Amino acid sequence: MMETLQPQCTVMTRKTLCSKIQDAVKNMKSIIIKKLSTVNYVATTTDCWSARQHSYLGVTCHWIDDISLERHSAALACRPLKGSHTFDVLAAALEEIHSEYHIREKVTRTTTDSGSNFLKAFRLYGEDKEEETTNWQEDSGSILDDAEDSELEVEYQDVLAVLDDNTGLEYQLPRHQKCACHLLNLISTVDATAAEATNDTYKRLSRSAFAKGHALWNKTSRSIMAYETVERECKLQFLRLNQTCWSSLFLAVERLVRIHKEQGEKAIRNVCTALKIKMFNPAEMGFLVEYTAVMKPVAMALNILQGESSVHMGFLLPTLYQLLEKLRKLESSCKMCRPLVDDALWMESRNVLEK
């Protein structure tokens, strides 16, 4: 096609294109290595995921400029992973990437989500200064006491058992930092579900309201006729849920509540009738209104902590404390979503103590 439209141009072959891409990758990698050689301390973030039957591991690097105090970032890797995402596979890949860029001794923390594979990898192979200090103090305190006994007693060890034991020396990873945004996301997902076990009224309203909401969101996103119906009746479109966007459920409910407030109950009723979906009753709509009020501070905190450049570690605790204060103010005003507020407060209090 290119030869027909532009006969004077020469089409690049596949081999030439791949060669140019590889050269660009090598050049970019050398630039990043040269830049990181002038930095004393860095922090990395990593995550693994699956897409189109393939698994990938992504690693980014972050550091603070000594002069301007601005945060800089660079993508270090986005490479495929073979096999299961076990803790040892992740530890080996992450250590290899750190070694490639010569930052193995410079990484102060590595941030990941709370996946069990990452937690186990850093528990076995990660650096733990507090534990090392405690063990050193205990050992140094018992050296003098047990000096005489150690000379008289001989303890025999099974060599095979020692060799088979996982000592954590295969890989060396930096200290681990749990992602605060991922923990906040648990409030809007896991805690919202866990709150159903504490109150039957909340459980009934939550399941019925979200069941109707999901039916409405699914139908309006799959049909052109449904799209036009919503546009005509509501003047706004319903938002589609996105599994990779942590606050997508809150944003979808917030848009539904906004349409109900601005266009009235009749607009949503007409859409539900046209799409043959059960209409929200007053109790369910009131539940969704309270749900947006409770989850709005959480969504705002997520937006702050997910900032690309204007956020640092110093933002974390003030943001969490402010979120706790806003949730406490909602305790007295919430009726149907009180279990969600209580669980969110408990989760946030635990997070603050962990930080």
Residue 186 lies in a domain: yes
Q: Is 38 inside any structural domain?
A: yes
161 within domain boundaries: no
CATH code assigned at 49: 3.30.420
The chain-wide mean pLDDT, for the chain, equals 82
Phi-psi region of 147 (alpha: psi -120 to 50; beta: other; left: phi over 0): alpha
Task: Tabulate helix, strand, coil % of the chain (nearest 5).
Answer: 60, 10, 30
> Is there a domain that residue 121 lies in?
yes
DSSP-derived 3-state class of residue 288: helix
**Count of structural domains within the chain:** 2
265 and 332 housed in the same domain: yes
Query: For residue 188, is it within any domain?
Result: yes
Specify if 157 maps to a domain: no
Same domain (yes/no): 210, 242:
yes
pLDDT value of residue 208: 93
pLDDT above 90 as % of the chain: 38
- Same structural domain, 52 and 83: yes
Per-residue pLDDT tens over the stretch 265-275: 999 999 999 99
Asked whether residue 125 falls in the same domain as residue 184, the answer is no
Triad 308, 127, 314: Cα angle to 5°:
35
pLDDT at 59: 95
More confident residue, 164 or 34: 34
Q: Which amino acid is residue 236, in one-letter code?
A: L
99 residue type, one letter: S
Mean pLDDT lowest among 65-74, 131-140, 171-180 = 131-140
Question: Which two structure tokens, joined as six digits, stand for 341?
Answer: 């507020």
pLDDT tens across 285-313, in order? 999 999 999 889 888 888 888 877 677 77
- Range name among 102-111, 151-160, 318-327 with the lowest pLDDT average: 151-160
- 84 lies in some domain: yes
What's the domain range around 50? 31-129+168-178
Same domain (yes/no): 64, 205 = no
Q: What is the value of pTM for the model shown? A: 0.71
111 and 44 inside one domain: yes
Cβ atoms of residues 233 and 271 within 8 Å: yes
Domain match, 318 and 208 both = yes
338 & 194 share domain: yes
Residues 173 and 205 in one domain: no
Domain's final residue, options 156, 178, 200: 178
How much is the pLDDT for 52?
Answer: 83
Examine the domain organization and report whether 173 and 216 are in the same domain.
no
| CA gap 94, 289 in Å, rounded | 44
In a domain, 190, yes or no: yes
* Position 128, amino acid: D
